[in-house]
Amino acid sequence: MTTATDTAPAVRKPRRRIGKEPSVLFDAPGPRARVRNNILTGVAVVVLLAIAYAVIARLDDRGQFEGKLWSPFTKVSTWTDFILPGLRNTLKASAVAAVLALLFGVVFGLGRMSDHAWVRVPCAVVIEFFRAIPLLLLIFFIFSGPATIADGLGREAPQVTAFQAVVIGLMLYNGSVLAEIFRAGIQSLPKGQSEAAYAIGLRKNGVMRLILVPQATTAMMPAIVSQLIVLNKDTALGYIIAYTELLNEGFKIIPANYGNLLPAAIVITVIYIAMNLALGYLASWLERRSRRSKKSAGTTMGAGGPAPAPGMTITGQTTGDTGGI
């Protein structure tokens, strides 16, 4: 009689050697190849450092690192009068445009997956149209186009502020891209998810709201965050219509007053990098939290292991071939 406690002796698995296994794209380098790669890496680092030194030395010869060019950034008035107001306008436009772009993307992304052609086709046309237009031209046309058209028709020109033009342009362009991200994320789920939901009597609205969208949100999060970072950087395009955002204040007004174009560009670049890194960190935190908050699925029948063979004893009971159910 065979019992469930009769198990085969454990086989010790060989330890994995990290860095020695072949990759999907290329084989793991051998000892000679690793030495050659290390040498090439060292040479590349030395060359890059030499180029950086040459550039810094050239700028130093031209007086770009003199203290008088950097001293304006040590004054409180420079930050309170120029940089912080520009940063506030950048964040305001970015926040409003991000919310509107997400709503735009959800509405038109779901509309493009509609079963009704009269909804699906117009949504597809809108998405492809605004994705094809360069964002700079879109912002410029929103700002000056209505006034030009109204002037040609002999009517009173509508007033479109620089803030409104930047926000609307960012919403239309990035919302169209987000619509495709939403559609791709939902369609990437296995068809069995929606088929099972339809089988228990849910309609398409319930399938989307209860089954597909919650599962696709985590998968779409990296792409959504990447697009929102792009949106945050694209607020700098308001420079073309004189919107007083961070780039306009720091790269145009400050150098006009102090004659320090290169130091101003370096400071503004550091601020943009810090903003985008903070947004990326926040997105990573939200993604980790959403993954931890997911509840584990219930145990399915038969998940505990293979079915016992006839004659095997399990917890003191013997199974036999009953010949039926």
**Ramachandran assignment for 201, one of left (phi > 0), alpha (psi -120 to 50 degrees), beta (any other):** left
**C-alpha distances out from residue 271 to 10, 11, 99, Å:** 57, 56, 22
215 in any annotated domain: yes
24 in any annotated domain: no
Judge if 127 and 208 occupy the same domain.
Answer: yes
User: What residues make up the domain containing 139?
Assistant: 75-290
Judge if 56 and 134 occupy the same domain.
Answer: no
296 in any annotated domain: no
Judge if 125 and 270 occupy the same domain.
Answer: yes
Judge if 101 and 45 occupy the same domain.
Answer: no
Judge if 69 and 173 occupy the same domain.
Answer: no
Rounded Cα distance between 204 and 124, Å, is 20
8 in any annotated domain: no
Judge if 147 and 230 occupy the same domain.
Answer: yes
Q: CB neighbours (10 Å) of residue 232?
A: 22
pTM: 0.70
Judge if 103 and 171 occupy the same domain.
Answer: yes
Judge if 132 and 56 occupy the same domain.
Answer: no
Judge if 90 and 63 occupy the same domain.
Answer: no
299 in any annotated domain: no
**Tens digit of pLDDT per residue, the chain (325 long)?**
555 455 555 556 555 554 445 555 567 778 888 889 899 999 999 999 999 999 888 887 877 778 788 888 888 888 888 889 999 999 999 999 999 999 999 899 888 888 888 988 999 999 999 999 999 999 989 988 777 777 667 677 678 889 999 999 999 999 999 999 988 888 888 887 777 877 887 787 777 777 787 777 777 887 888 888 899 889 989 888 888 888 888 888 888 888 788 888 888 999 999 988 888 787 778 767 766 765 433 333 444 444 444 444 444 444 444 444 3
CATH number, domain containing residue 224:
1.10.3720.10
Q: CB neighbours (10 Å) of residue 139?
A: 28
122, HSE (Cβ side, Cα atoms, 13 Å): 5
305 in any annotated domain: no
Q: Which of 84, 105, 71 is nearest to 173 (CA)?
A: 105
Judge if 242 and 143 occupy the same domain.
Answer: yes
Judge if 122 and 229 occupy the same domain.
Answer: yes
> How many folded domains does the chain comprise?
2
Helix or strand holding residue 283 (H, E)? helix 261-292
Instruction: Provide the pLDDT for residue 322.
Output: 40
Helix or strand holding residue 313 (H, E)? strand 313-314
4 in any annotated domain: no
311 in any annotated domain: no
Judge if 146 and 285 occupy the same domain.
Answer: yes
Number of helical (H) and strand (E) elements in the chain, helices listed first: 13, 2
